[in-house]
Amino acid sequence: MAEPVFRSALADAPRPQAANAGLRLSDRSGLAVLDLRGGDPVARSAGGAFGHGLPTDMNRMTGEGASLALKLGPDEWLLLGGEGEGPAMLAGLDGAFGDEPHALVDLSMRFAAIEVEGPARRDVLAAACPVDLHPERAAAGFATRTVFGKADVVLAFKANSILILVNRSFAPYVWGLLVEAGREFGVAA
């Protein structure tokens, strides 16, 4: 059987030139995304197998580097990993839950990922996102599903950047909207 070939949904997107570095966009597509559904015991079991504890409070994120866990719903977590790590993460979590009812699905191929860096990142997101993006409300460790323009996105706030996960088919739209909103802050596409 032929191996699936990964091609970023943003491979043909125009690469903006950051004139004054107010905003930097990077394509992070390909990172591993696992969706975990289940109760709190499932989250506790997953913490041991995942390497660090899963968040217990809504809209919080734990972990560092590429290995992140986001709590997006009362019984829903997204587990992120580095590029191509999905199968290994699935294997690592296999059997971790015993008899606890749960669902664990590899969604890596569904998502495109965009990392937004630079001092203007909150202003650019605010162009089309209704969430309160003030640094006090959306500090590092905040993560939520919301809308950006017409697209359903997941936002993960890191210390110096914001990671946007979006369905593949919507990725060029979100990228274009970010570039458009970024023109005010020195981005030229």
Question: Which residues make up the interface to other proteins (CB under 8 A)?
Answer: 58-59, 72-74, 76, 130-131, 144-147, 152
In total, the chain counts a number of residues equal to: 189
Min CB(18)–other proteins separation in Å: 29
29/59 with CB nearer other proteins: 59
Are residues 25 and 125 in contact, defined by beta-carbon separation less than 8 angstroms? no
Compute the least distance from the CB of residue 139 to other proteins, in Å. 15
Cα gap 116→125, rounded to integer Å = 9
Cβ-based nearer residue to other proteins, 68 or 72: 72
Write down the least CB distance from residue 28 to other proteins, Å: 21
From residue 75, alpha-carbon distances to 72, 78, 141 in Å are 8, 10, 18
Q: Burial code of 165-188, b = ≥16 C-beta within 10 A, e = fewer?
A: bbbeebbbebbebbbebbeebbbe
Q: How far is the CB of 74 from other proteins (least distance, A)?
A: 5
Of 76 and 100, the one with the shorter C-beta distance to other proteins is 76
Phi, psi of 175 (to 5 degrees): -60, -45
- CB closer to other proteins out of 76 and 123: 76
Q: Phi, psi at residue 183, to the nearest 5°?
A: -55, -35
Residue 152 CB, nearest distance to other proteins (Å)?
A: 5
116, 182 contact by CB (below 8 A): no
Comparing CB distances to other proteins, the nearer of 49 and 147 is 147
